[in-house]
Amino acid sequence: MARNKDLSDYDKGQIVKARQLGQKISETARYSGFSRSAVVRIYQQWSNHKLATGCWASKAH
């Protein structure tokens, strides 16, 4: 599995968007190809920094 630093902004955005749309952690991990812990970590990072200017997750569509 890829490490957090190996995830592109696009990958991170896709993880955040999937979680926002209600997809379960397990499903998000399976479809993205990243570990459950990576999915949790990325979503937590986004949640903690979503108000920051230029947040990578705000660019996900």
Distance of CA 60 to the CA centre of its chain: 10
Q: Is residue 43 part of a domain?
A: yes
Q: From CA 39, how far away is CA 23, in angstroms rounded? A: 11
Q: How many domains does the chain have?
A: 1
Q: Classify residue 60: in a domain, yes or no.
A: no
pLDDT tens-digit profile of 3-60?
A: 556 889 999 999 999 999 999 999 999 999 999 999 999 999 988 877 565 555 444 4
> Model-level pTM?
0.71
What pLDDT is stored for residue 48 in this prediction?
Answer: 83
**Six-digit token pair at 56?**
């990578």
Q: What is the per-residue pLDDT for 5?
A: 64
As to burial, measured by CB atoms within 10 angstroms (0-12 exposed, 13-18 middle, 19+ buried), residue 3 is exposed
Chain center to CA of 50: 12
The residue segments making up the domain with residue 47 are: 4-55
